[in-house]
Structure 1
Amino acid sequence: MRERERFDRLRLIRSPRIGPVSYRQLLARFGTAAEALRAIPDLAARGGGKASVADAGAVEKEIAQSRALGARYLLMGDPDYPVLLDQFDGAPPALILRGDTALASRQCIAMVGARNASAAACRFARTLAQDLGQRGAVVVSGLARGIDTEAHRGSIESGTIGVIASGIDIAFPPENRDLQAQVAERGLLVTEHPPGVQPLARHFPARNRIIAGLALGTVVVEAAPKSGSLITARLAGEAGREVMAVPGSPLDPRAQGCNQLIREGAILIQNAADVLEAVGSIDPRMVRQGSFDFIGAPVSSDVAAQERAAVIGLLGPVSVPIDELIRLSGLSPAVVQTVLLELELAGGLERQAGGRVSLR
């Protein structure tokens, strides 16, 4: 990929209202990021609104800041973009990384759990991560308090990947500043956010999809019923990855999430051998190499006014599956996806997990 195209693709994903889905659709339709950037204002106007694109100077400044921090960019479409993450719905078009990028191409296991984890669970997570590392696996986690922290500590010698919900220069929680620096120096630190971005609450579910996407399977060590760790497990399961859980005492609320996962079909885990047996090895026939140019819902070059009205008439504040819009409207997927793209760029559409959309 030429440097100019790389710059334009970064500018595209940094533009307002452009997410992973719209990013792929725009590139699939227009071929290059430059053409997509030029088309955005017109597409938004068709959707009944206005849209701007990211300032080139701001993107140049971001790149300079990242390089000064010793970080590099990895864009979807690059040959070393993590293959497993590339298969994940909503995978980030641009990653910023510090450390050994080769770790992401090895056998990765995600490990997540409670921030207020028990001492026993912390010890188990640290030992499990160490054992997995000794068996050649790379442990992926989120550098949060509790289980995440112990997972990184246990695997720092063998290979660990930390995925954060902030800029590459921001340490959160603050007490993990030294650990985050060690991960960047001896493992791999990953984010999708530009330098300076603070760890806002809405960034953590997005961070969780990267954790799940990088790994063959996700192990939940300890989790309450409504914890963020279960979001990671759900995302892994929806993507066809293995979901594993460590059972705990029914008297401990922090174990209820894991016990519930096992009841729902997650694999019960007691040691590293259980984990590696569960994930096995990925069949190379299941992996799309260089798949980016062929991913993304189809979009149309033109939509009639009555077609646009038919799609919009089916939308409301309650989210609906895109497949249902296609069925009810009787229109082609390309036409429906184009109308949704126009609405999104105009600020009138919200995309939600599971291929669902609603009006803002």
Structure 2
Amino acid sequence: MNLVQEKIVELESMKNYPKQLFFSGNLELLKKTKISIVGSRKPSKYSRLLTHKIASTLSKNGVCVVSGGAMGIDAIAHKSAGEENTISVLPCGINIKYPSINKNLLEGIEKSGLLLSQFEKDFRATPWSFVVRNEVVVALGDVLVVIEAELKSGSMRSIEIALKMGKEIFVIPHRVGESEGTNELLKLGKAKAIYDVDEFVSRFASSEVLEKKVDDFIEFCQTNPTYDEALKIFPQRVFEAELNGDINIQNGRVLPS
């Protein structure tokens, strides 16, 4: 746990630049294009799937994902981006892995990615420290993506911060009666909807166009292997591809979508 010595340009958009900012991990991630992702601690299955797809696609295209290390959307965003390509901003001292349910995730990010905090060692999270944390999360990203939020949720505080900073806000479209906070933003024209993940990511990708690289896994799926065969050769990719909708499982066989 060390103090960040150099000024972070993105944080100059905050009401008050942090008097101190502690870190543990890879500061090089601060030099990358960054997108902040926040949302409900109890997301719907739809929100979980979209969070995974957006965060993983951003990461694959060289974009670092920033979030707050909380349960729900935050944790999914960090995991989907990969511990080596995500920044978690904490509402407590870096030595306290809060919430404890995310302890392993936060330790992995500390080892491979980057943890940031304005708080001294041993400081425990308080209601006001979450607001302080949220401001840093929002400031670091080029834009703010809000996956799911009710009208009186903590995510709405992040939205207020983003609006004051003049940040663009993106949300995913929800059905009427769901995620009323983000639906209200769309209604008022204060946010833009993400209808196509690849199109959204292409705005921030390290290359001008999303490259359609040859994918050994997808090529393998063209042969319609059994599910067991796919799991044996590509154990990690099968689950990810199912979540992303890249493959379908029919009668025990894997079919590309």
TM-score (norm: length of structure 2): 0.75
Deviations 1:157-176 (A, max 9, x none): 55100001000111211110
Does 2:128 correspond to 1:198? Answer: no
Q: Which residue of 1 aligns with 2:254?
A: none
Does 2:200 correspond to 1:270? Answer: no
Is the Cα contact below 8 Å between 2:170 and 2:193 reproduced in 1?
Answer: yes
Alignment partner of 1:104 out of 7, 13, 30: 30
Is the Cα contact below 8 Å between 1:100 and 1:186 reproduced in 2?
Answer: yes
Give matches, 1:36-51, under 5 Å.
none
Q: Which amino acid aligns with 1:121?
A: S
Judging changes above 3 Å, is the alpha-carbon distance between structure 1 residues 166 and 157 closer, same or farther for their aligned structure 2 residues? closer
Q: Which amino acid aligns with 2:141?
A: A
Q: Which amino acid aligns with 2:38?
A: V
Q: Which residue of 1 aligns with 2:21?
A: 95
Separation in 1, partners of 2:200, 2:24: 27
Judging changes above 3 Å, is the alpha-carbon distance between structure 1 residues 104 and 271 closer, same or farther for their aligned structure 2 residues? farther
Q: Which amino acid aligns with 1:97?
A: F
Q: Which amino acid aligns with 1:237?
A: L
Alignment partner of 2:2 out of 57, 65, 72: 72
Is the Cα contact below 8 Å between 2:43 and 2:73 reproduced in 1?
Answer: yes
Deviations 1:263-289 (A, max 9, x none): 1220111344343466699xxxxxxxx
Question: How far is 1:207 from its partner?
Answer: 0.6
Separation in 1, partners of 2:135, 2:14: 8
Q: Which amino acid aligns with 1:260?
A: E
Question: How far is 1:93 from its partner?
Answer: 2.2
Judging changes above 3 Å, is the alpha-carbon distance between structure 1 residues 213 and 144 closer, same or farther for their aligned structure 2 residues? same
Alignment partner of 1:231 out of 140, 157, 160: 157
Q: Which residue of 1 aligns with 2:237?
A: none
Q: Select between 108-117 and 148-157 the one with higher mean Cα deviation.
A: 148-157
Is the Cα contact below 8 Å between 1:267 and 1:278 reproduced in 2?
Answer: no
Judging changes above 3 Å, is the alpha-carbon distance between structure 1 residues 212 and 158 closer, same or farther for their aligned structure 2 residues? same
Is the Cα contact below 8 Å between 2:65 and 2:78 reproduced in 1?
Answer: yes
Does 2:90 correspond to 1:164? Answer: yes
Separation in 2, partners of 1:180, 1:157: 8
Does 2:52 correspond to 1:126? Answer: yes
Deviations 1:203-245 (A, max 9, x none): 1111100001111100000111111112112211211211111
Compare CA radii of gyration and give the structure with the larger one: 1
Q: Which amino acid aligns with 1:152?
A: H
Q: Which amino acid aligns with 1:163?
A: V
Q: Which amino acid aligns with 2:173?
A: P
TM-score (norm: length of structure 1): 0.54
Give matches, 1:250-261, under 5 Å.
250-252=176-178, 255-261=179-185
Q: Which amino acid aligns with 1:244?
A: F
Give matches, 1:236-247, under 5 Å.
236-247=162-173
Does 2:175 correspond to 1:249? Answer: yes
Give matches, 1:1-360, under 5 Å.
71-75=1-5, 78=6, 81-156=7-82, 159-252=85-178, 255-265=179-189, 266-276=191-201
Q: Which amino acid aligns with 1:181?
A: E
Q: Which runs of 5+ in 2 are unaligned?
A: 207-257
Is the Cα contact below 8 Å between 1:72 and 1:96 reproduced in 2?
Answer: yes
Q: Which amino acid aligns with 2:186?
A: I
Question: How far is 1:86 from its partner?
Answer: 2.4
Deviations 1:311-330 (A, max 9, x none): xxxxxxxxxxxxxxxxxxxx
Separation in 2, partners of 1:89, 1:279: 26
Q: Which amino acid aligns with 1:73?
A: L
Of all paired residues, the percent bearing the same amino acid is: 29
Question: How far is 1:151 from its partner?
Answer: 0.2
Is the Cα contact below 8 Å between 1:129 and 1:151 reproduced in 2?
Answer: yes
Separation in 2, partners of 1:119, 1:189: 27
Secondary structure of 2:21's counterpart equals strand
Is the Cα contact below 8 Å between 1:91 and 1:213 reproduced in 2?
Answer: no
Separation in 1, partners of 2:65, 2:94: 19
Q: Which runs of 5+ in 1 are unaligned?
A: 1-70, 282-360
Secondary structure of 2:4's counterpart equals strand
Judging changes above 3 Å, is the alpha-carbon distance between structure 1 residues 93 and 143 closer, same or farther for their aligned structure 2 residues? same
